[in-house]
A = this chain, B = another copy of it.
Amino acid sequence: MEDDVRKRIRGLGFGEDATEVLAGHFLDAEARGRTGHGLTRVDWLSTLPGLHPEAEPKRLLAEPGYERWEGNGALGYLTLDAIVRSQLETPPERSRVIVASHCFPTGVLGYWTRQLAEAGLAAALTATSPARLASPDGGPPLAGTNPLSIAVPSSDGRPLVADVSMGKVTHGDVLAGNATPAELVPFGGQQAHKAFALAVGLQLFVDALVGEGHGAVLVVARPEADPVPALRKRAGRIRLPGD
């Protein structure tokens, strides 16, 4: 199956490196049960307007505590991969904010933050997508499902990885046939205004920093402590995010 996935991606015009990145993401999503971001997306790629398999993201600016990236026509997956590799090559001394324009689609955000946490960096990542969430009070869709992923390294080798979409379901769930478009509302039931507020807040935070188009904002920081093992012990048999 894995070879077939790579073959289909190469068939869209992607080179070897990009194919590895994309296949890695889709196969991992599938393996973790995130099918809405998994193999169903391979065929979906060919439906994207303006797919430029040869495009490469560009780092426009690199300062110790800030980096500015531009997708430059590349898929968001490839932009996030380039950003992650860049952080692993040159980790921040303390912290860094990374802002990426034209960074879409981004897939399972936890896939990217997990890689940073496995290398010892705490990470928080959000990314915007087409507006699909309306207020629980009605009106037009005002925010994407805008997930927030937070990953924290652990000396036990098992980072904590939270990855929460603000939608009751994701657009990927709809694409995969696991949900209907009508279920694309902020999660939370009677308290859906909370998820709506988070979705709008994340939307505008990213919009304000990236300028235009869909984008991503990542914060990476070097931990001063190792809190995950103690939490895991306290949790006992209770499953923690990302396990």
B239 touches A210 (CB 8 A): no
Q: What chain B residues lie within 8 Å of A139 (beta carbons)? A: 235-238
A122 touches B205 (CB 8 A): yes
Bound-state Cα–Cα, A38 to B240, Å: 33
A208 touches B235 (CB 8 A): no
A64 at interface, CB cutoff 8 A? yes
Bound-state Cα–Cα, A51 to B26, Å: 53
Q: What chain B residues lie within 8 Å of A165 (beta carbons)? A: 194
A188-B195 contact in complex given A65-B97, A122-B209, A139-B235, C-beta closer than 8 Å: yes
Bound-state Cα–Cα, A202 to B99, Å: 20
Chain B nearest Cβ from A36, distance in angstroms: 15
* Stretch among A4-12, A76-84, A222-230 lining the B interface: A222-230
A225 touches B212 (CB 8 A): yes
| Range, interface on chain A | 35 or more
A152 at interface, CB cutoff 8 A? yes
Bound-state Cα–Cα, A122 to B150, Å: 20
Chain B nearest Cβ from A14, distance in angstroms: 30
B194 touches A96 (CB 8 A): no
A198 touches B148 (CB 8 A): yes
Chain B nearest Cβ from A45, distance in angstroms: 28
Return the contact of A152 from the options B97, B149, B204, B235 (Cβ within 8 A). B204
Q: What chain B residues lie within 8 Å of A195 (beta carbons)? A: 188, 194
A137-B240 contact in complex given A96-B65, A162-B198, C-beta closer than 8 Å: no
B64 touches A205 (CB 8 A): no
Bound-state Cα–Cα, A225 to B64, Å: 23
Chain B nearest Cβ from A40, distance in angstroms: 22
A225-B197 contact in complex given A64-B64, A65-B64, A202-B150, C-beta closer than 8 Å: no
- Which A residues between 128 and 173 are near B, CB-CB below 8 angstroms? 134-135, 137-140, 142, 148-153, 160, 162-165, 168
A52 at interface, CB cutoff 8 A? no
Interface set of A (CB-CB < 8 Å, partner B): 63-66, 68, 94-97, 99, 122, 124, 134-135, 137-140, 142, 148-153, 160, 162-165, 168, 187-191, 194-198, 200-205, 207-212, 219, 221, 223-228, 231, 234-241
* 8 closest Cβ pairs, A-B complex: A65-B65, A162-B201, A150-B201, A207-B227, A139-B238, A208-B223, A95-B97, A189-B189
